[in-house]
Amino acid sequence: MKPIITLACIGLIMGNVAAQDDLLADLESLEGPSIAEPVYATFKGSKIVNLQTVELPAEGEGQFIISHRFAALNDRPLYNLFGLDNAQIRFEYSYSPSEVLNIGMGRSSGSKTYDAYMKARLMTQQRRPEGHKGFVIPLTATWYSSMTVVTTPFPDNIDHFASDRLAFVHQLMLARKVNHALSLQLSPTLVHFNLVPTSTDRNDNFGCGLGLRYKFTNRMAFTAETYIGNGPFENHYPATSIGLDLETGGHVFQFHLTNARSMADPQWMLQNPGQWSQGDLFLGFNMSRVFNHKTIER
């Protein structure tokens, strides 16, 4: 009798477990996967050309970028070898203490400008898994702020405050990876100059950056960007660039053609005298290298 009772109890328990498994399976089939998948590599680098992207180096990684902008193609092209005889140079290094924060410093030879900046990822685009019916984040958002100081002498020979050399940039970068090949970015921007040419000029100037990447092989992509904004300086034109990204393992090479020779914020945004229509075009490149600073646990 006891064996029969024991077998009956085991049968009831197993039947209850099976029923619970069937119920869970039915619920999963109705609701779909509960976790949306994050979207990675909206852009390959932290910059398109001059415009910052939503991308940050991974936690514990540092990134070194060296940039060149050569002289204008229309300035005695054969004599100056299409501008290659003269170049403006920029160096920068940044570090990510966490997966959502990046801090860096740089120096640009144009106006002998130093800068410091930070980027903070606010949210990450999510991909809707098959069968998922819940909400997914449609885009990636990153905040960017920079401070620049120009160290060349003032042209008016007047004693100035040290703060007159400072300018600030704040950007909210909104990007979406539309598909495997195409990524788009919109960057509403506030630029503040501590010193402007006249008392009637605005210290605060709003603008917007637009950028895209179209990936046509696993390691190559076409890029383009422009910045539209009104500033306090004369003879300013929108900075517009096209480029080619080439990934080679630990390095990313970015070759481009642009009408903006300056590379420091906010000079390329609102102090750009070059015009595409006049042939004021500059060849250039960015080269980036990532370093892992994480401590190896033994």
Closest of 118, 121, 152, 124 to residue 137, by C-alpha: 124
What was the pLDDT predicted at 83? 77
Give the model's pLDDT for residue 186. 98
Looking at residue 295, what is its pLDDT?
66
Tell me, what's the pLDDT at 30?
47
Residue 246's φ and ψ, nearest 5 degrees, are -130, 115
Q: Tell me what pLDDT residue 6 has.
A: 46
Q: What is the dihedral of CA 9, 14, 17, 23, to 10 degrees?
A: -110
- Give the CA dihedral 112, 71, 210, 191, nearest 10 degrees: 30
Per-residue pLDDT of the chain (298 residues; tens, 9 = 90+): 444 444 444 444 444 444 444 544 454 444 545 578 899 999 999 999 999 999 999 999 999 999 999 988 888 877 877 778 788 999 999 999 999 999 999 999 988 999 999 999 999 999 887 766 778 899 999 999 999 999 999 888 788 899 999 999 999 999 999 999 999 999 999 999 999 988 888 999 999 999 999 999 999 999 999 999 988 888 889 999 999 999 887 788 999 999 999 999 999 999 999 999 998 999 999 999 999 887 655 5
Residues 24 and 110 in one domain: no
Q: What contacts 36, CB < 8 A, 6 or more positions away?
A: 126, 127, 128, 129, 132, 134, 136, 137
pLDDT for 294 equals 76
Evaluate whether residue 211 is within a structural domain.
Answer: yes
Domain, as residue range, for 26: 1-31
Residue 169 in contact with residue 266, Cβ under 8 Å? yes
Asked if residues 180 and 209 have their Cβ atoms less than 8 Å apart, the reply is no
- 125 and 261 in a single domain? The answer is yes
Identify whether the C-beta of residue 55 lies closer than 8 Å to the C-beta of residue 141. no
Co-location of 24 and 139 in the same domain: no
Are 225 and 103 found together in one domain?
yes
Residues 137 and 106 in one domain: yes
Based on the fold, state whether residues 250 and 281 are members of the same structural domain.
Answer: yes
> In 3-state terms, what secondary structure has residue 268?
helix
Give CA–CA dist 149/264, Å, rounded. Answer: 10
> In terms of residues, how long is the chain?
298
pLDDT for position 51: 97
The domain that holds 262 is classified in CATH as 2.40.160.40
Number of folded domains that form the chain: 2
Contact partners, residue 79, CB within 8 Å, separation at least 6: none
CB-count exposure of residue 245 (10 Å: 0-12, 13-18, 19+): buried
Structure confidence at residue 200 (pLDDT): 87
* Residue with tokens 């006891």, as numbered in its chain: 2
| Dihedral (CA of 112, 274, 236, 106) sign | negative
Question: Is residue 298 assigned to a domain?
Answer: no
Cis-peptide into 238, omega within 30 deg: no
User: 3-class DSSP state for residue 157?
Assistant: coil
Continuous H helices in 158-209: none
Residue 50 per-residue DSSP state? S
| E runs forming strands in 47-155 | 61-72, 87-98, 101-108, 113-123, 126-127, 140-150
Of residues 293, 7, 53, the one with CA closest to residue 176: 53
Give the count of beta carbons closer than 10 Å to the beta carbon of residue 22: 10
Q: Is 122 within a domain?
A: yes
Residues 260, 231 share a domain: yes
